[in-house]
Amino acid sequence: MLDETLALRDYDLKVNGINLQREFEAPTPAVTADPHQLEQVFLNIINNAVDAMLEAGQGGTLTVRVHTKDGNVHTEFHDSGPGIKEPHRIFEPFYTTKGVGKGTGLGLSICYGIIQEHGGQIRASNQTAGGGIIEVVLPSAGENAAPEKAAPTARREAALAGRVLLIENEEAVLEFERDVLTGAGAEVVTSMNVEEMKSLLRQQQFDAIIIDGKAQGNGSAREVYGWLAENCPGMEKHLLFTFSAVAEPEVRSFLQEKNIPCLVKPFEVADLIAHARRLMQKAQAASAS
């Protein structure tokens, strides 16, 4: 998967005078992971490394190392750019070192969530001689395990399978959450107001609804729940609310009473994926019964 991802940027690397160096330990144990999600992570890291080198000037060197240590597979991306300004912050949602209009800072936070979901770690640091390092650490699935046997199991366990209706007030946050869920395998339909949500629910089937508690036209969590119970019976049980701040006591009390999950922003990417998975599993179980 790493080789395939590097091949996607091969032309751009050569055109921009960036030398690619591979240092892959052999044989490398397999890891249990979703290949599409790993591709998203690797591509995002490579893109950031390339951007950093190009901002520093034409050309550079990207060194990709793969090795094993303490039962884990380590994949390291070393670039010859100017280094990472605040390594401890780059996985925070909306944090970016790029200029205005050149990035939302969402990519690496999505990577962080995906790797956490896989039971791994992702770290950032700077080389003593200059340049940044992003390291992805994943648990080994066993020495020299056959990847083709591990991948199908990982796909079922790691990925989201189903349709999500996502309602969010702010466009940047909407895009962030959509990218997280889509990257995890879900089919996502988005809206920025409750009236459109109602129209979509009358026309289409969904496995989960994720809605901002203050979405445009959203009177209250109680009202949304009531409308769903009346007009889309069963969907009120596949609902996740998100809030920009801790909800009022009466809202929290209602959510607890109805066993409705919620997340307060900024939340961990892994938590969003985990909640979405639970809602989809409930929908699939209800459909099967």
Per-residue confidence (pLDDT) for residue 93, from 0 to 100: 67
CATH class in words for 2-154: alpha beta
Per-residue confidence (pLDDT) for residue 102, from 0 to 100: 41
Query: Is the sign of the CA dihedral 127, 130, 136, 140 positive or negative?
Result: negative
DSSP for 46-83, written as a single string: HHHHHHHHHHH-S-EEEEEEEEEETTEEEEEEEE-SS-
pLDDT per residue rounded down to tens, the chain (289 residues): 898 888 877 877 888 899 999 999 988 889 999 887 888 889 889 988 888 898 878 789 999 999 999 999 999 999 999 888 888 888 876 555 544 334 434 578 888 888 988 999 999 999 888 899 999 999 998 755 444 443 433 333 446 789 999 999 888 788 878 877 887 778 999 999 888 999 999 999 999 999 998 776 666 888 999 999 999 999 999 999 998 888 888 988 999 999 999 998 877 777 888 899 999 988 878 777 6
CA 55 – CA 81 distance, rounded (Å): 8
Tokens of 147: 């990847």
C-alpha closest to that of 255 among 207, 289, 206, 222: 222
Per-residue confidence (pLDDT) for residue 216, from 0 to 100: 61
CB atoms within 10 A of CB 122: 22
Residues in the chain: 289
CA distances to 48, 91, 122, 150, 213 from 168, rounded to whole Å, are 27, 22, 28, 36, 9
> Using alpha carbons only, what angle is made at residue 273 by residues 272 and 275, rounded to the nearest 5 degrees?
65
Domain ranges of the chain: 2-154, 160-288
Backbone torsion region of residue 130, taken as left when φ is above 0, otherwise alpha when ψ lies between -120 and 50, otherwise beta? left
CB atoms within 10 A of CB 268: 15
C-alpha closest to that of 79 among 62, 67, 66, 55: 62
C-alpha closest to that of 273 among 194, 179, 200, 201: 179
282 CB-near residues (< 8 Å, 6+ apart): 237, 238
CA 218 – CA 137 distance, rounded (Å): 42
Q: Which fold has domain 160-288?
A: Rossmann fold (3.40.50)
Tokens of 110: 């999505």
77 CB-near residues (< 8 Å, 6+ apart): 45, 46, 49, 62, 63, 64, 133, 134, 135
C-alpha closest to that of 48 among 129, 131, 121: 131
CA 201 – CA 42 distance, rounded (Å): 36
Query: Is the sign of the CA dihedral 184, 122, 126, 2 positive or negative?
Result: negative
Per-residue confidence (pLDDT) for residue 233, from 0 to 100: 92
